[in-house]
Amino acid sequence: MSEAASSNIDQRIHELADWRGATLARVRALIHTAIPDVEEEWKWRGVPVWSHGGILCTGETYKAVVKLTFAKGASLPDPAGLFNSSLEGKVRRAIDLREGAALDEGAFQALMQAARALNSGRGVKTTRTVSARTS
């Protein structure tokens, strides 16, 4: 894990000093619990990124939302319906957390683990069709 990236994320949480900082800190803790060896990165002029074999999700902060964008979200199962933003995209999906919004922590951690599995190739299910030939 990059110490500089982790330090930058710590600083962002501290600078926000409101519900967004608290939300980002809570989500970060959930990510580390779900994937203890997750890598933290700092990209695109100040966006926290969590990776494991590729990008899992980003944690952007805006005035009204903390946006968690999953790089391959369209390929992830979401039985709890956490994704509520970027639903029309063919690759990404996002979770917009507004002030006071509840987050199903267990479902979120399962989503993170599914993203890790997808990045490692274990989460992709393919069906192989074998055609029979007759002579």
CA 68 from centroid of its chain's CA atoms? 6
Task: Output the tens digit of pLDDT for each of the chain's 135 residues.
Answer: 578 889 999 999 999 999 999 999 999 999 999 999 999 999 988 899 999 999 999 999 999 999 999 999 999 999 999 999 988 888 999 999 999 999 999 999 999 999 999 999 875 443 333 334 343
Q: What is the pLDDT of residue 123?
A: 57
- The domain segmentation of the chain, as residue ranges, is 3-120
The pLDDT value recorded for residue 135 is 39
pLDDT for res 134? 42
Say what the pLDDT of residue 128 is.
Answer: 36
According to the model, what pLDDT value does residue 44 have? 86
CATH, domain range 3-120: 3.90.1150.200
Please state, in angstroms and rounded to a whole number, the distance separating the CA atoms of residues 55 and 34: 15
Identity of the residue numbered 29: A
Cβ within 8 Å of residue 125, ≥6 positions away: none
Let me know: does 82 contact 75? Beta carbons within 8 Å: no
Dig out the tokens for 122 from the structure. 């274990």
